[in-house]
A and B are shown apart, each in its own frame.
Chain A
Amino acid sequence: MATVSSPLAAPAAPIAERQPTDWTTPAMQSRIAARYRAERNFRRLGAAALVIAASFLAFLLFTIVRDGWTGFQRTETRIDVQFDAATLGVDPAAVAGPQGQSLLARADYQALLLKAAEQLGPADGTLSDAAWMELREALMDNPALLGKRASLWVPVRSSIDLLAKGKYDLTAPAESRGVTDREVSDWRWLEKAGRLRTGFNTTFLFGADSTEPELAGIGGAALGSLLTLAVTIAIAFPLGVFSAVWLEEFAPKGRLADIIELSINNLAAVPSIIFGLLGLAFFLNFAGMPRSAPLVGGITLALMIMPVIVIASRVAIKAVPPSIRDAALGIGASPIQVVFHHVLPLALPGIMTGTIIGIARALGETAPLLLIGMRAFVTDVPQGFTSPATVLPMQVFLWSDDVQRGFVEKTSAAIMVLMLVLIAMNSLAIYLRNRFERRW
């Protein structure tokens, strides 16, 4: 038996005699010094890289916050309004009746505001186009105001708003400072009359887009993002996880599995605009689904992030030790029971982390949504999955594209909202990973 013979029995090859190593020679010492030097330099290099990366990030955050924090504020002016039924064109007796609210909703507040603006004297043109809505809101909240006089704060035009926030360099020559002498003098008059205040801008947080910067809000886009992501999660998570389970646990290994794996990895690297084209060609043109809708946006983004979820889930499933599968199979669990009782619960933290990172990517995606019409100018908060909507990054894009100066701070403020949402989602991912991670 060949294998019975011990390897030690093999004839020994002659081994050359070797001088004992001298660790004290100058050459050896300088080699050691060089090694330590290289190590120190490498550490410094790493630290320097980190400092550079961190300062880029700090600069980015600093400029965004500097430009953006005023976007959460709005300048308002105080006017005294006489809620005159005749000017409003409503009958006080009918207002008390059952149709009261709808009558009040349709009344002529523009005329009322025009009258009230007279008290602003030379600055009567500084009120925002939508200032009348504040009057309507006040009266509808409290119909008893009809026929009475009330003091109200209404928004001013964007130029006055920016002047009040000190966004213009007034020492610059008139033609290059971006604001007219008339606006500057109006602002000075209002300021002197004590009729200006700057407060928190609820319209920005809860409203939808508008052509006027002082009326534009991020709320519509935020809700649009939420609806879109809900569709994305509902489609991409189950599809991605079950694909990963099948590929990892059940797929026969071989050429086909290799091709599928390669395709999924390629799909994860496909530029997102391609998915937009697919969405346009298939969902809109072929399937006839509604344009600009969170439903279509969500499906398109789901296709985009599904490969990411599949890859992350496969890694998480692969990380479950085979001994756990053996243990369950060994006492008679069926393969499906092994997956649902053991593999998936153990892989879930990793799957969740991957999914949330995928979703964060979907949240920040614009390109595919451009092509399916979510670039639309939507002045209403979306009502459902099929109503026109836009999303947060798209809103940033739309505002950054706008020529009006007032949108500069809105753009930065919208970026702040977007980044806060992203940070919240990534924190959740890290929390979930640490919370459910198991060691064995």
Chain B
Amino acid sequence: MNQNPAPKPAIGHNAVPKMTARDVNVFYGQKQAIKNVSIDISAEHVTAFIGPSGCGKSTFLRCLNRMNDTVDGARVEGRIELDGEDVYASNMDVVQLRARVGMVFQKPNPFPKSIYENVAYGPRLHGLARSKADMDEIVESALKRAGLWDEAKDRLGESGTAMSGGQQQRLCIARAIAVDPEVILMDEPCSALDPIATARIEELIDELRGRYAIVIVTHNMQQAARVSQKTAFFHLGTLVEYDDTSSIFTNPKATRTKDYITGRYG
């Protein structure tokens, strides 16, 4: 596994960030879940959000492709941009935004349809394939990129829900990849998986790095250390520290970060 992340370019100051967030506040009814979070997400890195349960890391992740819109009473303030475009602008097409910013969820959630249909659903929605052959190619390349092709090629007609948990999660990644997103958000993608399936997903994340901007929320600090190049530490709805993964884990600046990664709480 990727114990030693590839030598990374200098942190974001010179590169143009893929997504930026400025002074983001999120409220669920009266309760404030996110307080004044500002962050840049780079296109070539895997960015990890870590923090104890209820710190708002998932909430913030779901703001990035407006999945919080579906939550009753959720309200987002501040500015989030994708390539300089305001994600929350009134003329932003949410459907297109979510095609550009794909998402993989905590629990593998394939549709109760065939493996092929699971992957083909997104491209079909957005009209990305002109012919059946086109679609076959999209499905094949998405499954290949998700490292699932060898296991799935002979059973494309079988139900996606009949696969093992790890395969289902990779199918969900393939489904997200199939619409050719620019950013992939992963909300604790391994928390429902066993260690071997987790290792497969982590390898996969490393393979996908560079091609897509990847943001991963994780509970598991070792996982953050293994897969990410940048780490953001959230606590009580605030972004406490955001830096290179190696600096966060070896030389945290804030005491709260230090206490968390050394296991004092969490």
State whether B109 touches A324 (Cβ < 8 A).
yes
Stretch from A106-114, A198-206, A217-225, A330-338 forming part of the interface with B: A330-338
The verdict on A4 contacting chain B, using a C-beta distance below 8 Å, is: yes
Contact yes or no, A331 B179, CB < 8 A: yes
Instruction: Collect the chain A residues with CB atoms within 8 Å of residue B264's CB.
Output: 4, 6
Residues of chain A with a CB closer than 8 A to B65's CB: 330
Which residue on chain A has the smallest CB distance to residue B96?
A332
Residue of A nearest to B172 (CB): A327
Q: Which of A329, A331, A439 contacts B121 (CB 8 A)?
A: A331
A residues in contact with B72, CB < 8 Å = 252-253
Q: Is the CB of A331 within 8 A of B107?
A: no
* Number of chain A interface residues as a range: 20 to 34
Instruction: Return A433 CB to nearest CB of chain B, in Å.
Output: 16
Q: Which residues of B contact A329 (CB under 8 A)?
A: 67, 70, 98
CB within 8 Å for A331 and B105 given contacts A3-B236, A325-B70, A342-B111: no
What is the bound-complex CA distance between A246 and B72, given in angstroms?
Answer: 15
Tally of B interface residues using CB under 8 Å: 33
Asked if B95 is at the interface (CB within 8 A of a chain A CB), the reply is yes
Q: Which residue of A lies closest to B110 (CB)?
A: A327
For window 242-266 of B, CB contacts with A under 8 Å fall at 256, 259, 264-265
A440 to B97 alpha-carbon distance, docked (Å): 28
User: Are A330 and B103 also in contact (CB < 8 A) when A3-B236, A321-B109, A438-B112 are?
Assistant: yes
A19 within 8 A of B: no
Are A332 and B256 in touch, CB under 8 angstroms?
no
Does A330 contact B98, Cβ atoms closer than 8 Å? yes
CB distance from A327 to the nearest CB of B (A): 4
CB closest residue in chain A, given B265: A4
Q: Are B102 and A330 interface neighbours, CB within 8 A?
A: yes
Give Cα A252 to B73, complex, Å. 10
**B176 with A331: CB separation less than 8 A:** yes
With a cutoff of 8 Å between Cβ atoms, the chain A residues found around residue B111 in the complex are 324, 327-328, 342
Interface residues of A in 313-349 (CB under 8 A from B): 321, 323-334, 337, 341-342, 346
Interface of B is mostly: helix
Is A1 located at the chain interface by the 8 A CB criterion? yes
Q: Report the Cα distance A420→B82, complex, angstroms.
A: 64
Would A331 and B98 count as touching, CB distance under 8 A?
yes
In the bound assembly, the distance between CA atoms of A323 and B176 in angstroms comes to 14
B122 touching A332, Cβ below 8 Å: yes
Task: Contacts A4-B264, A332-B122 given; indicate if A327 touches B112 (C-beta within 8 A).
Answer: no
Question: In the complex, what residues of B have CB within 8 A of residue A326's CB?
Answer: 67, 70, 103, 105, 109
Whether B265 contacts A3 by the Cβ 8 Å rule is: yes
CB-defined contacts of B121 to chain A, threshold 8 Å: 328, 331, 333, 341
Nearest A residue to B122 via CB reads A331
Shortest Cβ distance from B220 into chain A, in angstroms? Answer: 20
Q: How far is the CB of B170 from chain A (nearest CB, A)?
A: 14
Does the CB pair A333–B109 fall under 8 Å? no
Inter-subunit contact A346/B67 (CB<8 Å): no
Query: Which of B102, B161, B256 interacts with A331 by CB under 8 Å?
Result: B102
* A contact residues around B175 at 8 Å (CB): 327, 331
Q: Can you spell out 9 A-B residue pairs with CB atoms less than 8 angstroms apart? A: A324-B109, A327-B111, A328-B121, A329-B67, A329-B98, A331-B175, A332-B96, A332-B179, A342-B111
A-B contact sample (12 more), CB < 8 A, given A327-B175, A330-B67: A1-B256, A3-B265, A6-B264, A253-B72, A326-B70, A327-B109, A330-B98, A331-B99, A331-B175, A332-B96, A332-B179, A334-B95
Shortest 7 CB-CB contacts between residues of A and residues of B: A323-B109, A332-B99, A330-B103, A331-B122, A332-B98, A327-B109, A332-B95
What is the interface of chain B, defined by CB distance below 8 A to chain A? 65, 67, 70, 72, 95-99, 102-105, 107, 109-112, 121-122, 125-126, 161, 172, 175-176, 178-179, 236, 256, 259, 264-265
